Amino acid sequence: MSTYNRQLRLAHRPVGAAKETDWNLVEEPLPTPGEGEFVVKILQLSIDPAMRGWMDAAPSYIPPVEIGAVMRAFATGRVMESHHPHYATGDLVTGEFGVQEYALSTGAGVYRIDPRVDVPLSAYLGVLGLTGITAYFGLLDVGGFQPGQTVVVSGAAGAVGSTVGQIVKARGGRAIGIAGGEQKCRYLVERLGFDAAIDYKSESVRKSLRRHAPDGVDVFFDNVGGPILDDVLTRLARHARVVICGAVSQYNTEVGPQGPKNYLSLLVSRARMEGFVVFDYAPRYPEAIADMSIWLADGKITNLVDIERGSIIDFPKTLARLFNGANTGKQILDIGSEDPDDV
Ligand SMILES: NC(=O)c1ccc[n+]([C@@H]2O[C@H](COP(=O)([O-])OP(=O)(O)OC[C@H]3O[C@@H](n4cnc5c(N)ncnc54)[C@H](OP(=O)(O)O)[C@@H]3O)[C@@H](O)[C@H]2O)c1
């Protein structure tokens, strides 16, 4: 085990897209666990679009990362040293550990990974982690999806979006994805079983929806906001549900998010639009994980991950991949795989 811990601490609140100089690389002595604490060696970092929002001072559903604090990140890791009654050296865990090599934890918000379950570690940041849980409750609970209904999902080749489409297919619905680029769209249809995919970079979303959803859209699961949200609002079926999961197209704007122009479609369609935060479902996480585990084991859903290997220094450029559409599936930065026993 190393004797020091490298961390990325927030240096500036970005204007527009985050840049490398918005974080400082800091080296500290390795933390020593006190009574009721343990030290985790971080193996894989979850890279999330929300990280951009956490860098802003504006109040949100979670407090901002303070200037000088370790950048917030969810991660998986292995317990290296423990003075905690419920965590032993060698345990695999997942939690909010930050962009650093080692984290000191009291166990708050930490979940233990069962090593007997035969799934890759990355699944605990992907389909069996917050990604899958977000897709599950957003679609089934907020979206009220029922078998036979037509679901449109934006950001469809991304982590949450690709999971939403796969759950729709596993539960007997019609899935239409919206994603950037022909390659991603082909992947959605040919590999993930989507019924159709619309390349928003080369075709009109509004026109293509007329073709793919002639009877309207029952659930729109929106990850991106902006013009795509406006286009889908024009195709809502009666009593449709628009699920506001996120708005990645708006996170880097310097002028603030632009609202939808076509919101009166909600009135005409007797539809509703509702946002949600996955953390509110914490007491029900086991429900989602149980169902997702079965679908994963049955081959009905895939753990679609996009893993960059490197060190925490690679964090800024890995985060940027989400905003330029470089990722397909859950973006992960693996900083621990030099020890093959870890994963
Ligand atoms: N509400 C909650 O509790 C909750 C929890 C987790 C995540 N989220 C939200 O869920 C959404 C998806 O997160 P994720 O982790 O699954 O990320 P992701 O979809 O894997 O990555 C972001 C994707 O957004 C697309 N994108 C980037 N800029 C865009 C633009 N201007 N217009 C349209 N698409 C754009 C890119 O795909 P293309 O190549 O297709 O453009 C990129 O791959 C985010 O909005 C996130 O904040 C919400």
Kindly state if the Cβ of 143 falls inside 6 Å of ligand 1.
Answer: no
Structure tokens at 143: 């979206």
Q: Is 246 touching ligand 1 by the criterion CB < 6 Å?
A: yes
Tokens of 277: 């935060």
- How far does residue 260's CA lie from ligand 1's centre (Å)? 18
DSSP assignment letter at 105: E
Tell me if 276 CB under 6 Å of ligand 1.
yes
> 251: CA distance to ligand 1 center in Å?
10
What ligand 1 atom has the least distance to the C-alpha of 245?
1
Q: What is the pLDDT along the chain (343 residues), one digit of tens a residue?
A: 678 999 999 999 999 999 999 999 999 999 999 999 999 999 999 999 999 999 999 889 999 999 999 999 999 999 999 999 999 999 999 999 999 999 999 999 999 999 888 899 999 999 999 999 999 999 999 999 999 999 999 999 999 999 999 999 999 999 999 999 999 999 999 999 999 999 999 999 999 999 999 999 999 999 999 999 999 999 999 999 999 999 999 999 999 899 899 999 999 999 999 999 999 999 999 999 999 999 999 999 999 999 999 999 999 999 999 999 999 999 999 999 655 444 5
Out of 52, 222, 224, give the residue to mutate to test ligand 1, the one with the largest number of ligand atoms within 8 Å of its CB.
224
CB 45 within 8 A of CB 73: yes
Question: Ligand 1 test: best mutation among 248, 273, 328, most atoms within 8 Å of CB?
Answer: 248
Cα dihedral angle (319, 283, 126, 197), rounded to 10 degrees? -90
Report whether 321 contacts 327 (CB < 8 A).
yes
Contacts of 211-218 spanning 24+ positions with Cβ under 8 A: 212/176, 213/150, 213/152, 213/176, 215/150, 216/150, 216/240, 216/269, 217/150, 217/151, 217/152, 217/176, 218/145, 218/146, 218/149, 218/150, 218/151
CA of 35 to the centre of ligand 1 (A): 40
Distance 202 CA to ligand 1 centre (A): 19
Tell me, what's the pLDDT at 340?
47
Residues 251, 222, 131, CA angle at the centre, nearest 5°? 80
Task: Give the integer Cα–Cα distance in Å for 196 and 57.
Answer: 40
Given a contact cutoff of 8 angstroms between Cβ atoms, the answer to whether 94 and 76 are in contact is yes
Q: What is the pTM of this model?
A: 0.97
Q: In what order do the strands lie in the sheet with 196-199?
A: 196-199, 174-179, 150-154, 217-222, 236-244, 272-275
Helix axis angle, 285-297 to 159-170, nearest 10°: 70
| Residue linked to tokens 């343990």 | 38
Q: Which helix (H) or strand (E) holds 303?
A: none
Q: What is the CA angle 334-338-340, rounded to 5?
A: 100
Cβ of 277 below 6 Å from ligand 1 = yes
Measured by CA distance, the residue closest to atom 19 of ligand 1 is 158
Instruction: Find all residues with CB under 8 Å of 336, minimum gap 6, and list them.
Output: 41, 42, 43, 44, 77, 78, 342, 343
Ligand 1 neighbour 163 (Cβ under 6 A): no
| DSSP state at residue 41 | E
